[in-house]
């Protein structure tokens, strides 16, 4: 089966790599752009849609476009950093910044959230949301992953400790992919029998 071509509207090479690993049936490439729109949305979905629509205007007409937005929400910080997770600590390491902000706070409950928006060559738009509950560890653990992976733990194991295969099966982004597949499956407009939905799993 020929791989489905898609462009990912992001400047984050780690997200492109993770999406490639989670979508083996897709041929993913990062969007090439000289300037990027400011993420002004009030929700993850709005930001993901903004990126996808920006990418749709620049991507090859035959390619799908994926837009993604994600973040970590900490109960003790009233849901912060949330939408600002990527820009919360522009001058330092994100994981270290979160550990410093929480300090000895006993409430370490947190969740990782992701929204994915896919736009087809025909302009159809689909979305998928994923979230996973966990806790912020007291210190960095593990060598894999990026961003908050060394401090976000599920059942006592950080994303950075569990490795990409395990993380890609349970993460917020993996759950968003499954939700996106379900949303696409509900569409009544199927162009061919070689269905791109099969390649989302």
Determine the Cα–Cα distance for residues 48 and 44; give it in Å rounded to an integer: 6
CA distances (Å), 200 to each of 4, 21, 46, 104, 128, in order?
10, 11, 22, 41, 12
How far is residue 127 CA from its own chain's centroid? Answer: 12
- 69 catalytic? Reply is yes
Question: 182 — phi, psi (to 5°)?
Answer: -65, -40
Instruction: Check if the beta carbon of residue 123 is closer than 8 Å to that of residue 55.
Output: no
Determine the Cα–Cα distance for residues 69 and 114; give it in Å rounded to an integer: 6
Question: 30 — phi, psi (to 5°)?
Answer: -70, 150
- Candidate list 34, 69, 75, 96, residue with the active-site label: 69
Known catalytic residues? Answer: 69
């Amino acid at each position: 089966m020929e791989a489905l071509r898609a462009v990912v509207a992001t400047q984050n090479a780690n997200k492109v790599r993770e999406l490639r690993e989670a979508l083996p049936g897709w041929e993913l490439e990062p969007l090439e752009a000289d300037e990027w729109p400011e993420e002004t949305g009030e929700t993850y979905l709005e930001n993901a849609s903004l990126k996808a629509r920006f990418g749709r205007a620049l991507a090859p007409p035959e390619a799908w476009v994926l837009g993604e937005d994600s973040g970590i929400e900490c109960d003790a910080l009233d849901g912060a950093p949330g939408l600002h997770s990527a820009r919360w600590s522009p001058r330092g390491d994100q994981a270290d910044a979160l550990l410093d902000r929480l300090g000895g706070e006993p409430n370490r409950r947190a969740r990782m959230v992701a929204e994915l928006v896919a736009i087809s060559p025909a302009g159809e738009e689909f979305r998928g949301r994923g979230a996973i509950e966990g806790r912020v560890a007291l210190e960095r653990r593990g060598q894999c992953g990026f961003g908050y992976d060394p401090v976000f733990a599920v059942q006592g194991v950080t994303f950075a400790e569990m490795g990409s295969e395990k993380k890609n099966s349970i993460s917020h982004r993996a759950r968003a992919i499954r939700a996106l597949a379900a949303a696409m499956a509900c569409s009544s407009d199927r162009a061919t029998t070689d269905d791109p939905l099969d390649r989302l799993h």
